[in-house]
Amino acid sequence: MLKGWRSTAIVTAITLVTFIVVPKLYDNQFLLFNMMMYMALAQGLNIIYGYTGYLPFGYVGFFGAGAYAGALVIIFLHWMPLIAVLVGGLTAVLFGMVLIPLFRLSGAYFSIASLAASEALYYVVANPHLEKITQGPYGISMPQAYDANAAYWTMLGILALSLVTSGIIRRSRFGLALSAIRENPLSASMSGVNVVQMRSLSWLLSAFIAGLAGATFGWYISVFYPETVFSLTIGVFTIVFILFGGIGTLIGPIIGTLILYGLYNYIGISTPQYFQIAYGLLIVLLVLFLPNGLVSLLKRRGVDVP
């Protein structure tokens, strides 16, 4: 058990130190910021999907809710950006509480219902009739709050929070309960696990991390549109990253994000046609030969993967 905690701490420390040191050597803060953001989102999604087996296609809805909540309290209430980030996280939690009844569904039904909920929220904030509140489809602008460096370090803190939370869950009784729910909810319930409570808590923790990330992203770019923060691309990337690296682990989402987001920025922006081919080929090979992600290679060698 102690060895497991040690490996978790090492992975967390190396990841965080990397994003502290690399900016001094590599002058592309926006790339590093986005990489941290996707790692945090992947860890957040891993809490609900990796440990309980519920895959929300509409996970980006929490991200968008956080971005808008954080921006609006800055614009209308003139609150400090750091407080706005916390508001973004709490707003995502409230949205998650509204969606808890979706857990009456399972499998693809739950996934599609969560996507529908995200799309519904998108159409609410993009409604032209709500222009005086949400700015409608015309986008958010808050140049008075722009501070890319502060937002970068805030995102680093959110990444740290997501890693620590995921690490604790994986090594705790709570994590064991979630895993039992993933394998067989009925058996878990008969064993004394409060399935509804455990599942809801993991859902809200997952939402909180996404909301924090969304609010910080909005702070970093300061100008964005509804389709920017509710983009399905964000949700799809997050899902693919954890599948590629390995769900239910701490290091899997990190590896998946590093490789695939790095590949996207290397060839995906300048030559998107080649990226789509390479990306699709990687996914096909993964599904065929490594359905449990890249970390399964380490597990086959008996490595205790954090």
Taken in order 273, 278, 280, 281, is the CA torsion positive or negative? positive
- Tokens read off for 289: 């030969």
pLDDT of 150-199, one tens digit each? 999 999 999 999 999 998 888 888 888 888 888 888 788 887 788 888 99
Q: Rounded to an integer, what distance in angstroms lies between the CA atom of residue 120 and that of residue 98?
A: 13
* pLDDT over 70 (residue 302): no
User: How much of the chain is in helix, strand and coil states, percent to nearest 5?
Assistant: 80, 0, 20
pLDDT of 234-287, one tens digit each? 998 999 899 889 888 899 999 999 988 988 887 766 666 676 677 777 777 777
Query: How big is the chain, counted in residues?
Result: 306
Domain boundaries of the chain, sorted by first residue:
2-231
Provide DSSP, 203-235.
HHHHHHHHHHHHHHHHHHH-EE-HHHHT-HHHH
User: Quick one: which of 136, 155, 153, 151 has its CA closest to 210?
Assistant: 155
Strand partners, 224: 140
pLDDT of 17-43, one tens digit each? 999 999 988 888 999 999 999 999 999
Q: Most confidently modeled of 86-95, 139-148, 159-168?
A: 86-95
- Mapping DSSP to helix (H, G, I), strand (E, B) and coil, where does residue 57 land? coil
pTM for the predicted model, two decimal places: 0.93
Q: What is the mean pLDDT of residues 207-229?
A: 96
